[in-house]
């Protein structure tokens, strides 16, 4: 329907007729002040291929000197492209981090991935038992206050709980060993699913 409307507008634009308006008993010619140009419509598959080519070109650089930002409408396939690109790099043995806006976004990744969940590693937060997560820390309130004051979380863990607890009993820090075990089992590093704050505050598994 929209395409038909634009086609009709294009025909009118190709063969314009002067518009007239009655004013004081006389006809006055109105000049066109704007030409309507029909927008371009592309199949989603075409857009996805163009985005894939651009991302591949960017990643082929030995050293990236700038960041690649994709300004794409919802539904085109940004998540699909991100996961497909992550798997492509993963299968070449590279360590890949997928930065998520929130933890439940992990479910979105599972819906578009061609591989199973074992090829991903969702880093869990320090949390008490919840409907979504098992308990990873029994001092979540205290360490939360510590971090908000600008202190490093590892110092809290080492000074309050101790290194022995961190190595052998802490479920939060045990994720490091689980990530290593998963890497050995798969033969490639699982895609590390992190949160936005890990880009600015850092993460123990990031280089």
**Beta strand spans in 50-157 (E):** 97-100, 120-122
CB–CB of 90/119 below 8 Å? Answer: yes
The pTM for the full model equals 0.73
Pairing mode, if any, of strands 26-30 and 19-23? antiparallel
Token pair recorded at residue 56 = 């591949």
Task: Give how far Cα 62 sits from Cα of 90, 96, 140, Å.
Answer: 17, 16, 42
Local confidence pLDDT in tens for the 207 residues of the chain: 334 433 443 444 444 444 444 455 554 444 544 555 555 677 888 888 989 999 999 999 988 888 888 888 888 888 999 999 999 999 999 999 999 999 999 999 999 999 999 999 999 999 888 877 889 999 999 999 998 898 888 899 999 999 999 999 999 999 999 999 999 999 999 999 999 988 888 898 988
Task: Give how far Cα 13 sits from Cα of 2, 3, 111, 179, 206, Å.
Answer: 16, 15, 45, 62, 57
Query: Quick one: pLDDT at residue 179?
Result: 96
Distance CA 124, CA 198 (A): 12
């Amino acid at each position: 329907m929209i395409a038909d409307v634009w086609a009709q507008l294009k025909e009118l634009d190709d063969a314009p007729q002067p518009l007239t308006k009655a004013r004081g008993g006389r006809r006055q010619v109105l000049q066109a002040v704007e030409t309507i140009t029909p927008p371009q419509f592309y199949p989603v598959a075409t857009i996805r291929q163009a985005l894939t080519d651009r991302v591949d070109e960017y990643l082929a650089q030995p050293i990236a000197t700038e960041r690649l930002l994709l300004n794409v409408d919802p539904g085109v396939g940004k998540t699909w492209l991100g996961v497909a690109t992550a798997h492509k790099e993963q299968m070449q043995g590279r360590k890949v981090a997928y930065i998520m806006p929130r933890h439940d976004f992990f479910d979105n990744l599972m819906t578009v991935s061609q591989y199973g969940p074992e090829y991903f590693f969702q880093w869990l937060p320090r949390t008490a038992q919840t409907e979504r997560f098992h308990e990873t820390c029994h001092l979540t309130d205290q360490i939360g206050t510590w971090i908000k004051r600008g202190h490093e979380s590892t110092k809290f863990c080492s000074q309050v709980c101790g290194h022995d607890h961190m190595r052998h009993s802490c479920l939060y820090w045990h994720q490091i060993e689980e990530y290593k075990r998963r890497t050995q089992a798969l033969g490639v590093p699982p895609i590390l699913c992190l949160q936005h704050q890990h880009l600015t505050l850092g993460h123990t598994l990031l280089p």
